[in-house]
């Protein structure tokens, strides 16, 4: 047998062995269980996104990679879960970006009030260079970001009165995310903002420890805040997004194929989740009305005044952020407002 013939036989044997094993790609995907925690209930759009992600990962990995969802703070608060991801004792999480400010301060830019006014603007900002630049800051903190999902525009509820203008917030004791930007935003209207964990919020509203809170419509409905709140005012003061986080300790153990499966699934699930979230938000307003909440819009002239009132907040906090990121943020805002 010639050398050429021997080589052909040898290559054929390798090809047959790989075919039996399922090929090189399947060899790069191992049996894995991924624990994904979040604070929302299973009827919330974030959970719907996790469920879609779970299906996609199973399909793309031939059933080898399994995602197990832990909703409703089962694995602890967002901060506790972030610590678990950084330590490598939990694999995935989908917190609001605002909870990352203690780790990457520049994420506070997204929390600035009234920076975007439509979902299209929000998506363009997060899926563009700014969102990517912020994701690039995570690996050195022990986290990998796979992109952003929709949480929605935040709106004020309270048990005292409708908010029809900024002045109506005067004296309202309102729970906010433990985040300096949120505190300053409501202080600008002479409200009394109280930082508090989400897990404590319902009881605080029920006992009137606080008068109100602010969250997207779907969160208000899913957590039954209508049982302990009378007034819902459509302030749309801040756009909130969830970030898909993976433990870097876990990520670094994955093959390139496995990493690609997770990234591709996150991208596909994002588009589905955003659609579901926005449809659910529209439906939630009507359902909250049927549950007895008084819902009021705010006149565009009053919203403009509220926006002006909060402008100094951006200037104040921007000084403490990475100035290259701030420059990018401002140029990106110009771009998305033109589109």
For the chain, domain boundaries: 28-338
Q: What is the pLDDT of residue 2?
A: 52
How far is C-alpha 180 from the chain's CA centre? 18
Per residue in 122-162, pLDDT tens? 999 999 999 999 999 999 999 999 999 999 999 999 999 99
Q: For the whole model, what pTM was predicted?
A: 0.86
Alpha-carbon Rg for the chain, nearest whole angstrom, is 23
Residue 197 has pLDDT above 80, yes or no: yes
Across the chain, what does the average pLDDT equal?
92
How far is Cα 196 from Cα 34, in angstroms, rounded to an integer?
A: 29
Q: What is the pLDDT of residue 3?
A: 46
Residue 18 has pLDDT above 50, yes or no: no
Mode of pairing for the β-strands spanning 212-215 and 32-37: unpaired
Nearest to 138 by CA among 91, 109, 100: 100
CATH class (in words) of the domain with range 28-338:
alpha beta
How far is Cα 78 from Cα 93, in angstroms, rounded to an integer?
A: 8
**Which range is most confident: 19-28, 96-105, 128-137?**
128-137
CB-neighbour burial class of residue 14 (10 A; exposed 0-12, middle 13-18, buried 19+): exposed
Residue 17 has pLDDT above 80, yes or no: no
What's the whole-number mean pLDDT along residues 208-228?
95
Per residue in 304-337, pLDDT tens? 999 999 999 999 999 999 999 999 999 999 999 9
Per residue in 259-271, pLDDT tens? 999 999 999 999 9
How does DSSP assign 12-58, residue by residue? HHHHHHHHHHTHHHHHT---EEEEEE-SS-TTSHHHHHHHHHHHHHH
With a pLDDT cut of 70, the percent of the chain lying above it is 92
Question: How confident is residue 100, by pLDDT bands cut at 50, 70 and 90?
Answer: very high
Q: How many CA atoms lie within 13 A of 164 on its CB side?
A: 4
Q: What is the 3-state secondary structure (H, E, C) of 234-271?
A: EEEEEEEEEEEEEEHHHHCCCCHHHHHHHHHHHHHHHH
The residues that bridge with 96 in the sheet, in sequence order, are 242
């Amino acid at each position: 047998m010639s050398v050429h013939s021997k080589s052909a036989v040898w290559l054929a044997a390798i090809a047959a062995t790989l075919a039996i094993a399922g090929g090189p790609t399947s060899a790069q995907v191992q049996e894995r269980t991924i624990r994904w925690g979040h604070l929302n209930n299973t009827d919330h759009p974030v959970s719907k996104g996790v469920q879609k992600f779970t299906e996609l990962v199973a399909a793309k990995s031939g059933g080898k990679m399994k995602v197990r969802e832990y909703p409703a703070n089962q694995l602890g608060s967002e901060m506790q879960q972030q610590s678990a991801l950084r330590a490598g004792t939990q694999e995935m999480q989908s917190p609001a970006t605002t909870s990352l400010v203690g780790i990457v301060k520049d994420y506070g830019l997204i929390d600035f009030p009234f920076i975007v006014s439509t979902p299209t603007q929000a998506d363009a900002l997060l899926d563009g260079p700014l969102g990517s630049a912020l994701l690039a800051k995570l690996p050195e903190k022990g986290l990998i970001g796979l992109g952003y999902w929709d949480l929605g525009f935040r709106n004020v509820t309270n048990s005292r009165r409708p908010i029809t203008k900024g002045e109506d917030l005067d004296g309202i004791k309102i729970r906010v995310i433990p985040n300096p930007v949120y505190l300053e935003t409501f202080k600008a209207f002479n409200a009394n903002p109280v930082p508090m964990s989400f897990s404590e919020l319902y009881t605080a509203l029920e006992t009137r420890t606080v008068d109100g809170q602010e969250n997207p419509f779907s969160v208000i409905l899913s957590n039954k805040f209508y049982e302990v709140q009378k007034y819902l005012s459509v302030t749309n003061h801040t756009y909130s997004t969830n970030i898909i986080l993976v433990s870097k300790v876990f990520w670094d153990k994955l093959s390139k194929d496995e990493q690609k499966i997770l990234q591709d699934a996150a991208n596909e699930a994002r588009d589905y989740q955003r659609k579901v979230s926005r449809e659910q938000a529209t439906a939630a307003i009507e359902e909250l009305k049927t549950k007895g909440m008084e819902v009021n819009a705010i006149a565009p002239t009053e919203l403009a005044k509220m926006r002006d009132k909060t402008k100094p907040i951006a200037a104040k906090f921007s000084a403490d952020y990475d100035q290259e990121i701030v420059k990018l943020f401002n140029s990106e805002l110009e771009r998305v407002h033109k589109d």
